[in-house]
């Protein structure tokens, strides 16, 4: 699948779901407290985590994974998601940008943690191009946010995209993360969202809320291991 085709497919999917007429905000604070039942002391210092990604970070198809992940870790979470975008794919929507063009948006939140998610929207792009864009993004994040913990999360393999194309993106992103010395979470190798029961919407690309819930659970567990004091 070529990047343009991926963008068109993503756009068609969100049209079907009625989500394209007025795109969601580029950034949205989604959590500022620990899970329900554990009230936050007003004087307590809470880590800010920005999640940079695509329609999965937006939560297209459900309410998403960001809020549940942040709350499970006691973080204040910010979703910096734009549907159809990736490391090299800016999507077909005017005003949207590939990940590397959104570093200033991420840095504006002064995060303690940055989680970079995805992206299947780069399926079909040349792997060296994806690796180069990812490496540049990680370098720019390090320069803008030298004290932040950055974690890279590879793409999930949905049934609607050929798995070999997802693996090619995964490998390209993993190489860049390794080169930058960043931890890499591999949903493909770990079989995220691969249960036989339905975890995706009818488009075969976006998780439903059950899928996002599993993604949040898996990601929160990984971040506890990878981020100091998470």
pLDDT one-digit tens code per residue, 130-168:
999 999 999 999 999 999 999 999 999 999 999 999 999
| Whether pLDDT at 1 is above 70 | no
218 close to 181: Cβ distance less than 8 angstroms? no
Q: Confidence class of residue 199 from pLDDT cuts 50, 70 and 90?
A: very high
> What's the pLDDT at 12?
43
> Quick one: pLDDT at residue 45?
80
Q: Are 83 and 54 in contact (CB under 8 A)?
A: yes
How far apart (Å, rounded) are the C-alpha atoms in residues 55 and 5? 16
pLDDT at 3: 44
Structural domain boundaries, residue 23: 3-226
CATH number, domain at 220? 3.40.50.1110
Task: Please state, as a whole number, how many other Cβ atoms lie within 10 Å of the Cβ of residue 140.
Answer: 18
Enter the pTM of the model: 0.81
Using pLDDT thresholds of 50, 70 and 90, give the confidence band for residue 8. Answer: very low
Query: Cα–Cα distance between 209 and 198 in angstroms, integer?
Result: 10
Q: Which residues pair with 50 in a beta bridge?
A: 78, 114
Sign of CA dihedral 204, 206, 212, 218: positive
* CB contact at 8 A, 114 and 80: no
pLDDT for res 134? 98
The two structure tokens encoding residue 84: 């159809």
Structure tokens at 163: 């798995």
Task: Quickly tell me which residue has 């990047």 as its tokens.
Answer: 3
- The number of domains in the chain is 1
Of 94-98, 125-129, 140-144, 195-199, minimum mean pLDDT range: 195-199
CA distances to 166, 173, 225 from 183, rounded to whole Å, are 19, 11, 10
Residue with the two structure tokens 């795109």: 23
pLDDT value for 4: 40
Per-residue 3-state assignment (H helix, E strand, C coil) for 161-221: CCHHHHHHHHHHHHHHHHHHCCCEECCCCCCCCCCCCCCECCCCCCECHHHHHHHHHHHHH
Given this model, what pLDDT does residue 171 score? Answer: 98
């Amino acid at each position: 699948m070529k990047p343009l085709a991926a963008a068109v497919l993503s756009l068609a999917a969100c049209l079907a779901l009625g989500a394209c007429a007025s795109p969601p905000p580029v950034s949205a604070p989604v959590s500022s407290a620990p899970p329900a039942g554990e009230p936050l002391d007003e004087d307590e210092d809470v880590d800010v985590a920005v999640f940079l990604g695509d329609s999965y970070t937006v939560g297209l198809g459900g309410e998403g994974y960001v809020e549940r992940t942040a709350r499970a870790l006691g973080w204040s979470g910010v979703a910096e998601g734009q549907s159809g975008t990736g490391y090299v794919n800016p999507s077909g929507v005017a005003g949207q940008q590939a990940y590397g063009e959104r570093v200033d948006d991420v840095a504006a939140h002064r995060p303690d943690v940055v989680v970079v998610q995805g992206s299947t929207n780069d399926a079909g792009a040349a792997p060296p191009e994806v690796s180069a864009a990812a490496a540049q993004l990680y370098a720019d994040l390090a320069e803008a946010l030298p004290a932040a913990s950055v974690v890279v999360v590879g793409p999930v393999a949905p049934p609607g995209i050929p798995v070999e194309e997802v693996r090619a993106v995964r490998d390209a992103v993993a190489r860049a993360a390794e080169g930058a010395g960043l931890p890499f979470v591999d949903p493909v190798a770990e079989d995220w969202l691969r249960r036989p029961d339905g975890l995706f919407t009818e488009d075969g690309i976006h998780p439903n809320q059950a899928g996002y819930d599993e993604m949040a659970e898996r990601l929160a567990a990984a971040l506890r291991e990878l981020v100091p004091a998470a």
